[in-house]
Amino acid sequence: MIGWPDFQYTYIERKFAEDDKYTDSEISEGNHLYMSNYLRMIEGHTWGFVITPKNNGECGISGRSLPKSVSIRDLMERMKIGGGHDRAAGGTFKNEKDVKNCINEVIEWTKNNKPIIL
């Protein structure tokens, strides 16, 4: 990866969400708790993202970063999946149902693009 700081990611499997009949709102709430309480606190990892399934068959992404790290907004916009703020942004993988494919798409994209550090 070209100049990207260390990052972390996590995800919720579609099967887990469907088997336990979680709503998009419940998944979003869990995502928010993870982002608020854990993502920015793991030493050595200044940015990261969470991929979650949506009930409509798409996958969502939510990212956060610390100051002097990656502009998450820029990443979402250049990938053409979303937008937001430099430190907190999100988006949707409209044609992808598998969360692991979405993770791979982000990682592959970072291998071929330089980050904007703010």
pLDDT attached to residue 96: 84
User: CA 110 to CA 79: how far, in whole Å?
Assistant: 10
Residue 97: band (very low, low, confident or very high) from pLDDT cuts 50, 70, 90: confident
pLDDT digits (tens, 9 = 90+) for 67-78: 999 999 999 999
Domain annotation for the chain: domains and CATH numbers: 7-112 (3.10.310.30)
Are 86 and 73 in contact by the 8 Å Cβ rule? The answer is yes
Closest to 106 in 3D by CA, of 56, 69, 68, 70: 70
Q: Is the pLDDT of residue 39 over 90?
A: no
45-74: average pLDDT: 95
Residue 91: band (very low, low, confident or very high) from pLDDT cuts 50, 70, 90: very high
The C-alpha angle with vertex 107 and arms to 106 and 113, in degrees rounded to 5, equals 85
User: Model pTM?
Assistant: 0.92
Residue 52: band (very low, low, confident or very high) from pLDDT cuts 50, 70, 90: very high
103 φ, ψ to 5°? Answer: -60, -50
Specify the 3-state DSSP secondary structure of 56. Answer: coil
Q: Encoding tokens for residue 104?
A: 């791979």
